[in-house]
Amino acid sequence: MAIWHRAYTLKEAQQSFMGTMVDHIGISITELGEDFLKGTMPVDHRTVQPMGILHGGASLALAETLGSLAAGLVVDGEMKFCVGLDINANHIRAVKNGMVTGVAKPLHLGSSTQVWSIEITDTENRLVCISRLTMAVLDRK
């Protein structure tokens, strides 16, 4: 059984980022599973640090993008909205080029908070970064 509030399309999910930093650095939403959200980000001039490897902040941008979007898709958007409270990450492996893929899965889906785990892997499916994102669930006024 899907955790999402309603059936969403990938196009709907991606459209929410048009004209934002997410769009600028090339993050794409690629899959919406029963209980996970997947997306990709290029490792290129927009996302590397001066040493030529994936910037840790770019990894966190991918993690927070996926976790935040997923959190919002779980709640009734007419009644609730979600905002980030905390994010942390462990950077495991350097990546110099190609694409990284992030998968956000819920650890806790409560009425006032959500906790998401986001694993980022390289093109060879090796772990690059593990992140945990805590979201507040707030009432719309």
The topology (CATH level 3) of 10-139 is Thiol Ester Dehydrase; Chain A (3.10.129)
Cβ neighbors of 74 (< 8 A, separation 6 or more) are 3, 4, 5, 82, 106, 109, 114
Among 72, 92, 69, 88, CA closest to 80: 72
The DSSP secondary-structure symbol of 54 reads B
What does pTM read for this prediction? Answer: 0.96
Each residue of 38-75: pLDDT tens digit? 999 999 999 999 999 999 999 999 999 999 999 999 99
* pLDDT on residue 102: 98
Query: Which residue reads 């994010």 in tokens?
Result: 87
pLDDT above 90: residue 105: yes
Contact 120, 62 (CB under 8 A): yes
Cα 3 from Cα 57, distance rounded (Å): 28
Catalytic positions, written as ranges: 64
